Amino acid sequence: MLSLSLSTEALGALLKANSTPAGRVIQSLCGPEERGPNPLFFVGKKAVAHLPALLAVPNAVLIVEESLMGDAEKAQTPTSTAALFEVPNARRALSQVLEHVENKDLVTPKIAEPGIHPSARVHPSSVVEPSARLDAGVVVGPLCYVGHDVWLGEGTTLLAGAKISRNTRVGKNSLLRENCVVGGNGFGIETDDEGNNVRIPHLAGVSIGNEVEIGALTTVCSGTLKETVIEDFAKIDDHVHVAHNDHVERNAIVTAGTTICGSVRIKEKAWLGVNSCIKQGLTVGEGSVVGMAACVTKDVPPQTTIAGNPGRELGEFARIQKWLVAQVMPKN
């Protein structure tokens, strides 16, 4: 969820659309399962199942894809206070709104008291933006960048070259190693009115817990409307990619070269092996193990070991291997 201030009149001018009723001030941009004050929701085909619940949210503003407008009007009850905007493409509208919010700097800062604690140490070659906060005992090594609205908790260390972009929270005693990049834009692409590829801004930031390690040359991307989350005691190795809106739970381990695509949930104490890949939108269950170079294409149940490409439960993988060997090896 993003906190901001945006009038429905400014939104209508941006989208070249009108709403009924008008005269609202939007205070939060939300995903379909989030709730905030005076929220704005985007309803495309993937979110259509949420329509009745979203229409019931007090003072909500909904940007609805034109093919779904009939469904929205039918689902709207006499007591609904929702304002509706009709647009050709809800995802493109999301991109336009986020571009506007970014360009006009409309996101409400979360840090009430920015500043650098007297006991924090910052190398003279590093840059810390004035709106950032560094708590007691923070160490920022050479050639680092600490961006706007970034909060580094007590005892956290940034090693040489670490880059922490806007709207990122890091808890206590965490270690962000050399040349990692945390909080940069995720890879979300939409087309403009001429059919050209444009990037969707990712403004929700990253939340990193206590005692977390982020490896060298690892990227942790900002969430779009909700934060990317790394929970307490999670350990992420070097050369890992954590995409937008991912959620890595407590004590999970992600080893070198792993790619976690967008909106993935890695449950508590799961282990992802070297060079593994997790397809977008999936869940890897609690205590599960994803083997070296495995490609996960469906949800992994708890306490399960996955191997191969496409990833399969270890027993099934072993049976397939045995069968394949039997097909190619000469029989005695």
Q: Are residues 267 and 174 in the same domain?
A: yes
Q: Is residue 324 part of a domain?
A: no
Q: What pLDDT is recorded for position 19?
A: 67
User: Taken in order 292, 298, 303, 306, is the CA torsion positive or negative?
Assistant: negative
Q: Kindly report which listed range (190-194, 273-277, 301-305) carries the lowest average pLDDT score.
A: 190-194
What was the pLDDT predicted at 187?
94
The confidence band for 332, taking pLDDT boundaries of 50, 70 and 90, is low
The residue among 116, 181, 191 whose CA lies nearest residue 143 is 181
CA–CA gap between residue 107 and residue 97 (Å, rounded): 12
Q: Would strands 168-170 and 277-278 be described as parallel, antiparallel, or unpaired?
A: unpaired
User: Per the domain annotation, does 109 fall within a domain?
Assistant: no
Q: What is the DSSP letter of 299?
A: -
Same domain, 61 and 119: no
Number of domains present in the structure of the chain: 2
**Does residue 329 sit within a domain?**
no
**pLDDT above 90 (res 326):** no
pLDDT of 75 > 90? The answer is no
Contact 38, 27 (CB under 8 A): yes
165 shares its domain with 284: yes
Cα–Cα separations (whole angstroms), residue 50 to 212, 251, 265: 34, 32, 21
Bridge pairing between strands 163-164 and 145-146: parallel
Residue 329 has pLDDT above 80, yes or no: no
> Do 26 and 7 form a contact (C-beta atoms < 8 A)?
yes
* Half-sphere exposure for 57 (CA within 13 Å, toward CB): 22
Q: CA 63 to CA 43: how far, in whole Å?
A: 6
| Of 43, 78, 103, the domain-final residue | 103
Q: What is the pLDDT of residues 277-313, one digit of tens each?
A: 999 999 999 999 999 999 999 999 999 999 999 999 8
Q: Are residues 46 and 95 in the same domain?
A: yes
Please tell me whether residues 167 and 282 are part of one structural domain: yes
Q: Are residues 282 and 203 in the same domain?
A: yes
98 and 119 in a single domain? The answer is no
Same-domain pairing of 96 and 137: no
Per-residue pLDDT at 23: 78
Same domain (yes/no): 301, 168: yes
- Residues in Cβ contact with 282 at an 8 Å cutoff, skipping those fewer than 6 apart: 264, 265, 296, 297, 298, 299, 300
Whole-structure pTM value: 0.92
Q: Quick check: 17 pLDDT over 90?
A: no
For the record, the structure tokens of 57 come out as: 């949210």
- CATH number of the domain enclosing 221: 2.160.10.10
pLDDT confidence of residue 90: 93
Question: Domain range spanning residue 257?
Answer: 115-316
Given the DSSP bridges, would you call strands 189-191 and 197-199 parallel, antiparallel or unpaired? antiparallel
Q: Is 258 exposed, middle or buried (0-12, 13-18, 19+ CB in 10 A)?
A: buried
Q: In the predicted model, what is the mean pLDDT of the chain?
A: 93
**Range from 16-20, 33-37, 85-89, 118-122 carrying the lowest mean pLDDT:** 16-20
Residue 143 DSSP one-character state: T
Sign for the pseudo-dihedral over CA of 310, 244, 159, 268: negative
Band (pLDDT 50/70/90 cuts) for residue 108 is: confident
Q: Which residues are catalytic?
A: 244
- Evaluate if residue 22 carries a pLDDT over 70: no
212-257 per-position pLDDT tens digit: 999 999 999 999 999 999 999 999 999 999 999 999 999 999 999 9
53 with 167, same domain: the answer is no
Helix (H) or strand (E) run with residue 312 in it: strand 312-313
**Section 9-13 average pLDDT:** 92
